[in-house]
Amino acid sequence: MKVFHSPAHTQHAPPFEIFDGGEKITNFEMPERMERILSALRTDGRYEIVPPEDFGLAPIRAVHDRGYLDFLRTAFDEWLAEPTDYERIALLPATFPLPGPRGHVPTTLLGRAGYYMSDLSAPIVAGTYPAALASANCALSGAKFISLSAHPFPSADNPIRASAPHPLTAFALCRPPGHHAGRANCAGYCYLNNAAVAAHWLTQFGTVAILDIDYHAGNGTQDIFYERADVLTLSIHADPDFEYPYYAGYADQTGAGAGLGFHQNYPLPLGTDDAAYLDTLAKAIERITVYSPQSLVVSAGMDIYGDDPLGRIRVTREGIRQIGQAIAGLKLPTLVVMEGGYNNEALGLNVCAFLEAFHQ
């Protein structure tokens, strides 16, 4: 299996985040996460780890707001140039917009920070923007690879059926993760929505389904595709009634306009175990089967694991293995995009357990 990975992720290493109750803590989303996964993949020996291709900004601008991207690119340098005595190791806002229309983007840096940054868990540091670009390129490179079997018709330029008679799978080892990043905001450790960028790119070959199995609701992905019918978005996650992101991920949020009925959330109760999770997954897989997409993008968060420090459901490693088996059983061209997972001791083994069935 091809694994797309860039060492540029190490440039993004926020020294802290502001946790529940305003506590300043070490950021859970740290570079060590990728090293643990890479170590497990190399020990397994069946993975070809390759660098991503540079796709430029066009595929990212197709998904994200241009003003937001400009802010993300310049924010930290502007922060360093601000004539204040504030600590300059990371940028976080202190003020956020009130509910309702947000028609005006402030000109000041801190005003724009509050406008484009939705919470206090996605600080911007010097290397955030290049790391986020590299992460999105990992997802796009994986999308390009699986498109060899996702394209509906062979052509002189892309003789797909001849070169890839079976559905292909790729693993985009993305960091920073992406599924909380909306069209015009970062949040929850996420800056660019890697899965959404890849899924939109894949729509040139036909319809796409995104299945989000991260512990937290994929609210950014929901935001991006909520009014579209060419990308079916499904998210299985802890009930936002008790868990981040709190304001999105409810079962009655099913799309709008052309996208009505093409988004589905599956909120899970506290303490959900393997059997209950797999029952819910079966419902999502049935939706995907009926939709019959050309390709599948999986936002794979390993924070569903029972011993994850940020999770409160109880899926075991064997449960994670069975989740992978059920998804692989769809036999679709599949791009697996890395999202959350913060038990670093177990993370690599959990990823390998999930990917196991895609080798068979």
Tell me the three state secondary structure of residue 240.
Answer: coil
| First vs last C-alpha separation in the chain | 11
Instruction: Retrieve residue 118's tokens.
Output: 């939705």
Identity at 274, one-letter amino acid code? D
Q: Which residues of 317-337 are buried (b: 16+ CB within 10 A; e: fewer)?
A: bebbbbbbbebbebebbbbbb
* Residue among 180, 216, 237, 263 flagged as catalytic: 180
Q: How far, in Å, are 107, 165, 284 from residue 288 at the CA level?
A: 44, 21, 6
Handedness of CA 234, 34, 117, 230 (dihedral sign): negative
Best CA proximity match to 64, nearest among 193, 214, 183: 183
Measured distance CA(139)–CA(301) in Å, rounded = 15
**Residue for token digits 């985040």?**
17
State the Cα–Cα distance between residues 204 and 202, nearest whole angstrom.
5
CA distance linking residue 332 with residue 11, whole number of Å: 34
Residue pair 175/9 in contact by the 8 Å Cβ criterion: yes
Give catalytic status of residue 180 as yes or no: yes
Instruction: Tell me how crowded residue 208 is: count the other CB atoms within 10 A of its CB.
Output: 30
Q: How far is CA 37 from the centre of its chain?
A: 16
* Burial class (CB within 10 angstroms; exposed 0-12, middle 13-18, buried 19+) of 300: buried
Question: How far is residue 230's CA from residue 259's CA, in Å, rounded to a whole number?
Answer: 8
**Residues noted as catalytic:** 180
